[in-house]
Amino acid sequence: MDSPLGAADPAAEPRRRELQSLLRTEIPIAAQMDVAVDQIAPQGLWLSMPLAPNRNPHQTAFAGSLNSLCTLAGWAMTHLLLEQLGIDGATVLRRSSIKYHEPVESDRVVAWCLPPRDADWEHFVEMLPEKGQAKLDLVVEIAGSVSERPAVLFAGNYVVLGNGES
């Protein structure tokens, strides 16, 4: 099955700018954190933020900012997928878990939201019109500099309450 985000889109730049504007206007913390949408591709969605306004007293990324960046990445991925389906809906985070494996020290912190697994995506697409709501489990990683594993690993369960086709 193809990626839920579709094939690489040569006209992705306007979509990237629109998503960044949406995040910054509709979710004010995204503007406060200076979140940027770096890339939308079949392999996922990348958001980033500068370390400086999101640091703790140890000069590493503040855990709350890391959690917020991951939450925003999952929300943005869900938004893109709904847009692709032509469906309006309210997206909320139902539950999440986050593991901080190592401090994040890079000047630019990058979160990568992986596309949903094929089975999860198929179930989501089936349930949303049938039940008027559906859930989507997403994983977001923030790369580390010390080990092979991610510095931060986030799992979010997003629920969409569908409002029909847009």
DSSP assigned state of 1: -
Give the end-to-end CA distance of the chain in Å, rounded to a whole number.
25
pTM of the predicted structure, to 2 decimals: 0.91
Q: What is the set of domains in the chain, with CATH numbers?
A: 12-165 (3.10.129.10)
Dihedral angle over CA of 72, 76, 79, 83, nearest 10: 170
Name beta bridge partners: 65.
none
How many CA atoms lie within 13 Å of 37's alpha carbon, on the beta-carbon side? Answer: 25
Tens place of pLDDT for every residue, the chain, 166 residues?
Answer: 455 665 556 667 898 999 999 999 999 999 999 999 999 999 999 999 999 999 999 999 999 999 999 999 999 999 999 998 998 889 999 999 999 999 999 999 999 999 999 999 999 999 998 999 999 999 999 998 777 789 999 999 999 997 654 4
